[in-house]
Structure 1
Amino acid sequence: MGRPIDARGWLFEVRDQSTYVERWLPIENLTSWTQNASENEETADTTSFDSAGWYEQDVMQRGGQIELEGQYALDSATGRQVVGQAYVDQYWGQRLGIDSRNEIRYRHNTQNTWVIWDATVTPDEQEGEVNDKTSWSATFTQCGRPRYESVFPICMERDAA
């Protein structure tokens, strides 16, 4: 029998498109996350007389959505919002049209493969009351087919020699 994994072990990062160097920014201070693997799924009813009274369908479109919630956090060294949250709020979340897409990747810390989505982001509510910490949240909607990338890319140069 398998062992359950901790929800706090999930890692989420966004790709920094403000630079030409590949750079992924961690989204820190998360307190909860939700993934809906069937968000935006569309089906076609294929039930016919031949179905003998049983429902049938084909999936015509797949989709997905990830909602992240956490605490608005400041970097102790700079006093500015932590980089992943700031990137979502101030850069990615302000872009429109063709520029509104970016990449998010995620995995559990026990896994050796990232799942990477081309996605759009909707920065969500920030709130708090007298004795609360300020909240932070964002919703990422999958665009197209996901891809997968090893955490530790295989060194091809050594094998080529």
Structure 2
Amino acid sequence: MTQTKVNARDIIFEVAEADGTTWHRVEHLKSVVRNPSENEAVAETTDYDSEGAYEEEVMQRGSSLTITGDEMEDDTTGVAPVGRARIEALAGEDALGSDSLGKVRFRSPRSSQWNVWTCTVRLSENGGETNVKRSWGATVRKCGKTVKVAVS
């Protein structure tokens, strides 16, 4: 079996509509970075018999994805692309309690399975200086375990 390095730019990242079955690609991303240790919690288990060495056990696992790009809008309507608009809705002021939960999925182009997360979303700071495009981004934080779903 030949191993191939995966291009970061080739990641496929999608967000689900509220119905959980309609998916939209989040397009024109410049960066997708996964932090597999986000929201990890540990219990320190060091005691007198540890001989001065730190000990711990993981009590909770978490993960997050930070996505970034340039802010985009339709030339005529000013509306954001559908996938980005859904990300923004999940981070909206009224998205509280169970309404703050959404679903995203991601994979590499050759993968036969999607990684599906129930998640919450936080929008990143946006803006820029004189000679740059305005930035856009969000951090998606996993809630619960990753579900693997076959690509259809």
Name the TM tier (shorter chain). Answer: 0.7 to 0.9
Kindly provide the CA deviation profile for residues 90-127 of structure 1, in whole angstroms up to 9, marking residues without a partner as x. x2121112210111111111211111111100111221
1:6 partnered with 2:7:
yes
CA RMSD for the aligned pairs?
2.1
Residue 141 of structure 1: how far off its partner (Å): 0.8
Greater Cα offset, 53-62 or 63-72: 53-62
| Number of residues of Structure 1 aligned to a counterpart in Structure 2 | 149
Greater Cα offset, 138-147 or 44-53: 44-53
Contact 1:124 1:138 in 2 (8 A): yes
Structure 1 gaps of 5+ residues are 153-161
Measured in 2, the distance between the counterparts of 1:30 and 1:112 equals 22
Kindly provide the CA deviation profile for residues 48-100 of structure 1, in whole angstroms up to 9, marking residues without a partner as x. 344444432211011111110011223579763211111122x2121112210
Aligned to 1:80: 79
Aligned to 2:138: 138
Aligned to 2:43: 44
Structure 1 residue runs of 4 or more that deviate by more than 4 Å after TM superposition:
75-79
Measured in 1, the distance between the counterparts of 2:68 and 2:74 equals 18
Contact 1:29 1:72 in 2 (8 A): no
Contact 2:20 2:103 in 1 (8 A): no
Measured in 1, the distance between the counterparts of 2:68 and 2:127 equals 11
When residues 13 and 53 of structure 1 are mapped into structure 2, their CA distance, relative to the original with a 3 A threshold, is: same
When residues 10 and 21 of structure 1 are mapped into structure 2, their CA distance, relative to the original with a 3 A threshold, is: closer
Structure 2 gaps of 5+ residues are none
Taking structure 1 as the reference length, what is the TM-score of the superposition? Answer: 0.83
Aligned to 1:16: 17
1:33 partnered with 2:32:
yes
Measured in 2, the distance between the counterparts of 1:86 and 1:45 equals 42
Greater helix proportion: 1
Which structure's CA Rg is the greater one?
1
Measured in 2, the distance between the counterparts of 1:84 and 1:71 equals 14
When residues 147 and 21 of structure 1 are mapped into structure 2, their CA distance, relative to the original with a 3 A threshold, is: closer
Aligned to 1:155: none
Three-state SS of the structure 2 residue aligned to 1:143 is strand
